[in-house]
Amino acid sequence: MSTLSETSSRSSLRVGQAILALAAIAMLIALYLVFMVVPNERMMGPVQRIFYFHVGGAFACYCSVAVMLIAGLWYLATRSSRADAVQEAASEVGLVFCTIVLVSGMIWAKAAWNIAFSWREPRLVSFLCLWLIFVGVAMLRRFGDRERIGAHSAVLAILGAITVPVVVYSVKFLSHVGQLHPVVVENRGLKDPMFQTAFLYCSLTLVLLQFVFIWLRYRVACVESDINNRG
């Protein structure tokens, strides 16, 4: 039985290494497209290249929220330790991508609007709230009551899922409230075909990379659980 378990672990490790290597190659291609192939945007210049990672990172972040929500509902229904492990993995990966989006957005804002953050801008404020939810989950995982962490994390995942539509649609429905964000994709602002290709490729790459990280973090959580059970 032990031999079978070790063989399975080695096989999973090899699969994980192969997937991570492919994800790394895909990311290198994305970097090459953005910095070596795509031309400078006419108005923004070189700083516009942040757009591909900023928006793609946001898509990845929203996918992490979706995984957290599904795992959270799964946990509330079954109290499964595996569901809790998926929640933990998605929350950690989501926090990373949410931070990337927040920081890159402030860099973009400083260059485009000469202000890194505005409390009157609905999307900036609502996205900051989403980031704080991720931080709250991280703090809960670190300092919370072990017996209630799964349920409390699930509640925060539901709150995060409710926040995402507010972030996405704030540009459309709160356009009169100090709105600075442009609606680039919906308004077909990417005129050059290379802009569109790089945007699509980078977005897909970051979303896939996010799922790879969640899967790897979940596997780590499973290994840690097995070690604790044996101890």
- The predicted-structure confidence for 144-154, as pLDDT tens digits, reads as follows 887 889 899 99
Q: What letters, b where the CB count within 10 A reaches 16 and e where it falls short, cover 1-13? A: eeeeeeeeeeeee
pLDDT tens readout for residues 35-93: 888 887 777 777 788 889 999 999 999 999 999 999 999 999 999 989 999 999 999 99
Q: Which amino acid is at 100?
A: I
pTM, rounded to two decimals: 0.86
